[in-house]
Amino acid sequence: MPKKLRELKSLLRKAGFIQRAGKGSHTVWLHPKLNDAVVLSGNDGDDAKPYQQRDVDLALKRLEGQDG
């Protein structure tokens, strides 16, 4: 079962990402240690699309690699 967008946003928040508003239902997530942003679209109760889950997972893994 896919995660909800609110779960992905919570993971990003806990990892130190800062949310910036985007257009419409889009939110842009930035982290001071990473150059790339993670963009999520949809409402909090929506199921995350596979590419959204993948983007969040990759960003968190890249962040882990920088902490080490």
Of the two residues 68 and 47, the one the predictor is more confident about is 47
Residue 12 sits in a domain whose CATH number is 3.30.920.30
The pLDDT of residue 65 is 87
Q: What is the pTM of this model?
A: 0.91
Domain count, the chain: 1
CA distance 9 to 22: 14
Cα end-to-end span (Å), the chain: 31
Range of the domain at 50: 5-67
When the pLDDT of each residue in the chain is averaged and rounded to a whole number, the result is 94
pLDDT confidence tier of residue 3, bands split at 50, 70 and 90: very high
* Percentage of residues in the chain having pLDDT higher than 90: 87
Q: What is the mean pLDDT of residues 43-65?
A: 96
- What was the pLDDT predicted at 1? 85
